[in-house]
Every structure is written in C-alpha cells, then in structure tokens.
Amino acid sequence: MVQESPRRSVSLGRVLATVVVLGSGLAGAAPAAAAPAAGGGVSGAAPAAGGGVSGAVPATAGGGSGVARVGSGSADPTEPTDGPCAYTPTPDEPAARPVPLPPDPRRTPSRGTVEVLLRTNLGPIPLLLDRAEAPCTVQSFLHLVRHRFYHHTICHRLTAYPTLKVLQCGDPSATGSGGPGYRYRDELPTGLPPAPTDPTGERRVYARGVLAMANAGPDTNGSQFFLVYADSALRPNYSIFGTVEQAGLETLDRVAAGGVAPTPEDPAPVDGAPALTTTIKAAHIRR
C-alpha cells in the first residue's frame, strides 16, 4: 500500500494528518502514508477507499464566530459569498485565527502571477501564485496573507514516504485541524503526467516545487497547503495554485534533510512534525 494525499486531520496526542491509503496492489509500495490532510479528519481514522478520509469533517477547519462577510450582499454570516468562488462559512469548525471571508467579486481575477514570500526561521520560501490555474484559491490565499493569518505559524507536518514528500503548513493551531472558518470549491489540475509507481493509472505526479491545497474531501479547501520537495504520487484531488521558487526549494531541502521528529511510539517516523521546527515568521505579497 502507498500513501495518499494531502488532507487535514485532528491530531490526537501528536501532530499528524489523517492517514489516507492509496489503492492496493502497488508492488514495492511504501507503508500506507497519511495524505497531507487539512483539518477535519480524525488522526488514525480508517483510510477511505479512493483516497477519501473516512469520517473526515469538511476540511476547511474554521468557521463560526468572528467571521465577517466580505464581497457578499447577504448579511447572514452562515451564507456563502455571492460571487463565483462562494466562500462558505463553516460554523461547526471555528476559525483558528479570526479572519473575515475573502472578497468575492463577480469576476475573479484569473490572469497573471503574484509573488508571495514566506519568511521562515530556516530560510525564505518564495512562491509564485498562478491566478489562471486556480483563481479562487489564489484569491483566498492572498486574502489570508494580507490579514497576517500565516504569521508566526508552524509547518506541522513533514512526510518522507517514497511516494509522498511534502511539507504541510497553514494551520495556526499547529494541530492539523485548524483553518480560516470558511471553505471553498476545488480547482483541480488537469494534464498531470501519470505516476510511474502506480500501475492503476489513477495517481498523477505532483512534481517537486508544486504548491497545492490540503483538504479533507471534495470542495473543502481552507488555509492549509503543502509544498512538494520531491516528486510525489497523488490522485489529482488537490488544487495546484502555484510553484515554489529556487530559494524556497533550498529551504525545503533543509527541512527535509532534518527528517521527521521521532516519538516514543515511533523512533524512525516518515510522517509527522519536522525534526527541524519550521516556523513561518511572516508572509508578504511581493508584487
């Protein structure tokens, strides 16, 4: 069995994302790896067939109190914004850090790129966001950056499976279950090459340098995201919205080289908190 995708999960006793098992029958596959989970799934929950998180809560951890509405004509704080992105409050999943709903204009910007810098304690991680690839995702991410949602947050998960190598960030609670208090729809990639490690042809290559959203099921994007430091095999169920630039890849390599922090239960883990604590000290829009 191989590991699956980036999904959020509630950490029980340690920082881990929900275990999601990639389909069976892969010769020489690694032990079932927890897909980069974004808030909602229960750590240790049974893997769901097809890559879903069994019993996962809608994955945009966050919602409820303190969520102001932006870009919508409705005053009802439980209703989605009126624009095409339909950012939807999640009252059952309170925001890990107060933030309003993103602007949702009738025409979401869908051209050009935007540079964002994640300044971490281990080095810079410059990102290049692609509006054309995922306009609603970019709109939300920039909104969270502007509201300092990512300031002083810990990247809570590192995976080192043979077919899943990512650093997962974006949860102010550092538990794997936190989010912004809203969710929004997927903007899934097309045309990704088949993963050579998967004879079923279901998984695709999320290449080194890809920037994508973690989730806990369809249309449950929130604030958690993952950065791919080596080619990984995933079902194409995770919205790609940009790339990590060279200086950022060097920082990711530094984090990956440190490995996953051992625990009393697992002295040589391949999924868990990075041994080198990785803190986003600040996130800024460069242009």
Residue ranges of the domains in the chain? Answer: 1-287
User: Domain 1-287 is classified in which CATH homologous superfamily?
Assistant: Cyclophilin-like (2.40.100.10)
Torsion-angle region of 216 (φ positive above 0: left; ψ -120 to 50: alpha; else: beta): alpha
pTM: 0.80
Window from 2-11, 71-80, 117-126, 212-221 with minimum mean pLDDT: 2-11
Mean pLDDT computed over every residue of the chain: 82
pLDDT at 53 over 70: no
257: exposed, middle or buried (Cβ count in 10 Å: 0-12, 13-18, 19+):
exposed
Distance of alpha carbon 111 from alpha carbon 147, whole angstroms: 23
> pLDDT: is 48 or 68 the higher one?
68
Contact (Cβ atoms closer than 8 angstroms) between residue 216 and residue 59: yes
